[in-house]
């Protein structure tokens, strides 16, 4: 019999019996043990007849201490070999058959040990509960109700609170803070879990007041497989029914959250949100308008006719062309440009057009502030210069929304005010440049400039806020270069004078 080695045991004491070895020729010995401490061997698993055979296939095993102390339980007769001698013998080419016999013996004993181990585990599972009697059907039903009712309450409260809170968070903070639906559901679940911590005791106390009991099972019966399975299934059924019952709010909740495209959200954040427009108000505004896409050459507003719409350019650029006062035909001369509100290249686009001013992103917006303009014919043709994306509203619809929602009214007035300030600034800069051009033309009219004239014009350039680039373009329009201006002469004489100075 193999006994577990333990350094804590006093001398002469044997550790707990772990397994037994049985003689190969004697079968399962029925001899009475010589030592009373080695009695009751029937329940011990058998490891066959070969001791330390693992050393033949695992050389490291021989270097490790033996895990058990093997003590004879009855009279023995055995054969033993030194490990190195036996290993060298069976490894010899002529002794391969003997080697196979030893390996087969090890394999058979290993398979038998595994089989015994599995059988022992099954037996322990069958005996789980210490031989307690099987609970009656009434006891199991009582146990099932006792377990299922609290879990029904947990599932109901968890789903009910999560749906109510998640919907409120999604509709209130979803668009404002950019929360996704899943993020709102996660926050709602957190809130329901926090509330559930406080409701847990109340639910359990309520279940106790209903008179529910655990069926009177003994601790040994509670360890039985049937009791554990009943408890598990009751938990699953209880929490499942509770979760489904907690979804009742879905029958009464109306969807409040609006889904917006990325460009719509960008317009909301840029134009409407700073003026206090809520997502509900913005959704109503977008529903009353229509989105359009157009290519270069598309006519957004036809001049010479009354205009009944207000256009907000999202992306792209359009050009306004002046109409002849007599015929109403397009002159072909561009008057100004409109640039998409979401285009990040608005300043660059304006510079490409040179002196052509930009009038912002709202077309037909003047009639919002000055209603008499709506009764007049629109003075210009507005044509797409490139691919466009815009939103347009009927004038009457937009006025009605602005009258009801003052935040939307403030947003449109802010855009119009910004456009007006930009236009006035551009016009003032244009007038200053024209004044500077007149002074410059008068000075260079005699094809020569002296130091006093340059100093005089430099003072006016700074007071009129004319940039060096604008000064250079003004000189170029008059046939001069910056080098000519510095030399005091234009063209060939300027270069000759510079060479003489050098």
282 SS3 class: helix
Sign of the dihedral through C-alpha 87, 89, 95, 97: negative
Hey, which of 270-274, 324-328, 420-424 has the most confident mean pLDDT?
A: 270-274
Residue 255: predicted pLDDT = 60
Per-residue confidence (pLDDT) for residue 493, from 0 to 100: 52
| Predicted pLDDT at 240 | 94
Q: 383 pairs with which residues across the strands?
A: 299, 319
pLDDT in tens, 236-257: 999 999 999 999 988 887 665 5
User: Please, what is the average pLDDT of the chain?
Assistant: 79
pLDDT in tens, 42-53: 677 888 888 887
Q: What is the DSSP string of 228-254?
A: HHHHHHHHHHHHHHHHHHTTGGGGT--
Tell me how far apart the terminal alpha carbons of the chain are, to the nearest angstrom.
Answer: 119
461-497 b/e (C-beta count within 10 Å ≥ 16 → b): beeeebeeebbeebbeeeebeeebbebbbbeeebeee
Contacts of 500 (CB under 8 A, 6+ apart): none
Lowest mean pLDDT among 145-159, 308-322, 364-378, 486-500: 486-500
CB-count burial class (<10 Å; 0-12, 13-18, 19+) for 221: buried
C-beta of residue 328 within 8 angstroms of C-beta of residue 384: no
Q: Examine the pLDDT at 345 and tell me if it is beyond 60.
A: no
pLDDT at 349: 44
Supply the pLDDT for residue 257.
58
Question: CATH homologous superfamily of domain 289-404?
Answer: Jelly Rolls (2.60.120.10)
Where do we find the tokens 């031989």?
131
Q: Residue 250 has which token pair?
A: 């879905």
pLDDT score for 189: 83
Which H, E and C letters describe 135-171, residue by residue?
CCHHHHHHHHHHHHHHHHHHHHHHHHHHHHHHHHHHH
Q: Is 443:468 a contact under the CB 8 Å cutoff?
A: no
Strands 330-339 and 362-363: unpaired
Q: Which residue has the higher pLDDT, 352 or 360?
A: 360
**What is the pLDDT, as a whole number, of residue 450?**
85
Long-range contacts of 75-83 (CB under 8 A, 24+ apart): 75/31, 75/34, 76/23, 77/23, 78/23, 83/52, 83/55, 83/56
Long-range CB pairs of 182-188, under 8 A, 24+ apart, other chains included: 188/161, 188/162, 188/163, 188/164
459 or 355: which leads in pLDDT: 459
The answer to whether 313 and 361 are in contact (CB under 8 A) is yes
341, 389 Cβ separation under 8 angstroms: no
The tokens describing 78, both together, are 């055995």
The residue assigned the tokens 């509770």 is 242
Q: Which pLDDT value is given to residue 350? A: 46
- The 8 Å CB, 24+ separation contacts for 490-497 are 490/444, 490/447, 490/448
Please give the backbone phi and psi of residue 170, each rounded to the nearest 5 degrees, phi first.
Answer: -65, -45
Q: Is the pTM of this model over 0.85?
A: no
Cα 325–Cα 329–Cα 332 angle in degrees, nearest 5? 105
* Confidence (pLDDT) at 94: 84
Residue boundaries of the structural domains of the chain:
2-126, 137-251, 289-404, 429-501
Helix (H, G, I), strand (E, B) or coil at 295: coil
What token pair was written down for 114?
């595994």
Q: How confident is the model at residue 335 (pLDDT cuts 50, 70, 90)?
A: confident
Alpha helix positions (H), 293-394 = 346-352, 366-369
Higher pLDDT, 493 or 263: 263
Per DSSP, 216 falls in state T
Q: Find tokens 């072909």 and name the residue.
A: 332
Most confident listed range (119-133, 337-351, 434-448) = 434-448
Q: Is 413 exposed, middle or buried (0-12, 13-18, 19+ CB in 10 A)?
A: middle
Q: What's residue 131's pLDDT?
A: 59
């Amino acid at each position: 019999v193999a006994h577990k080695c333990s350094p804590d045991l006093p001398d002469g004491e044997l550790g707990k019996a772990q397994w037994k070895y049985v003689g190969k020729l004697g079968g399962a010995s029925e001899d009475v043990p010589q030592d009373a401490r080695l009695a009751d061997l029937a329940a011990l698993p058998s490891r066959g007849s070969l001791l330390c055979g693992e050393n033949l296939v695992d050389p490291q095993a021989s270097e490790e201490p033996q895990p058990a102390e093997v003590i004879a339980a009855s009279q023995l007769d055995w054969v033993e070999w030194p490990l190195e001698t036996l290993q060298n013998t069976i490894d010899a080419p002529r002794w391969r058959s003997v080697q196979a016999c030893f390996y087969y013996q090890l394999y058979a004993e290993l398979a038998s040990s595994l089989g015994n181990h599995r059988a022992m585990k099954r037996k322990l599972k069958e005996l789980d509960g210490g031989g307690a009697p099987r609970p009656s059907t009434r006891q199991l039903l009582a146990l099932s109700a006792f377990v299922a009712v609290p879990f029904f309450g947990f599932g109901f409260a968890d789903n009910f609170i999560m749906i109510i809170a998640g919907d409120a968070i999604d509709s209130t903070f979803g668009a404002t803070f950019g929360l996704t639906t899943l993020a709102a559901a996660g926050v709602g679940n957190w809130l329901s879990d926090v509330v559930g911590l406080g409701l847990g005791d109340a639910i359990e106390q309520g279940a106790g007041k209903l008179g529910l009991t655990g069926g009177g099972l003994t601790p040994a019966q509670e360890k039985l497989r049937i009791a554990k399975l009943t408890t598990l299934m009751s938990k699953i059924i209880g929490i499942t029914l509770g979760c489904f019952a907690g979804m009742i709010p879905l029958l009464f909740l109306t969807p409040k959250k609006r889904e917006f495209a990325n460009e719509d959200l960008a317009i909301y954040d840029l134009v409407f949100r700073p003026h206090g427009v809520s997502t509900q108000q913005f959704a109503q505004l977008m529903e009353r308008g229509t989105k359009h896409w157009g290519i270069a050459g598309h006519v957004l507003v036809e001049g010479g006719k009354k205009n009944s719409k207000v256009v907000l350019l999202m992306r792209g650029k359009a050009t306004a062309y002046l109409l002849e006062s007599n015929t109403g035909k397009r002159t072909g001369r561009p008057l100004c440009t409109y640039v998409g509100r979401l285009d990040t290249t608005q300043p660059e686009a304006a510079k490409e057009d040179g002196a052509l001013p930009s009038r912002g992103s709202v077309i037909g917006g003047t009639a919002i502030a000055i209603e008499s303009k709506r009764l007049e014919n629109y003075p210009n043709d507005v044509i797409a210069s490139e691919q466009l994306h815009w939103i347009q509203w009927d004038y009457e619809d937009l006025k009605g929304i602005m009258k009801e929602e003052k935040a939307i009214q403030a947003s449109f007035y802010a855009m119009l005010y910004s456009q007006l300030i930009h236009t006035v600034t551009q016009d003032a800069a244009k007038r200053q440049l024209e004044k500077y051009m007149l002074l410059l033309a008068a000075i260079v009219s005699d094809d020569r400039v002296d130091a006093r004239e340059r100093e005089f014009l430099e003072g006016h350039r700074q007071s009129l806020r004319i940039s060096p680039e604008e000064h250079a373009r003004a000189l170029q329009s008059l046939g001069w270069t910056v080098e000519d201006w510095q030399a005091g002469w234009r063209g060939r004489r300027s270069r000759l004078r510079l060479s003489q100075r050098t």
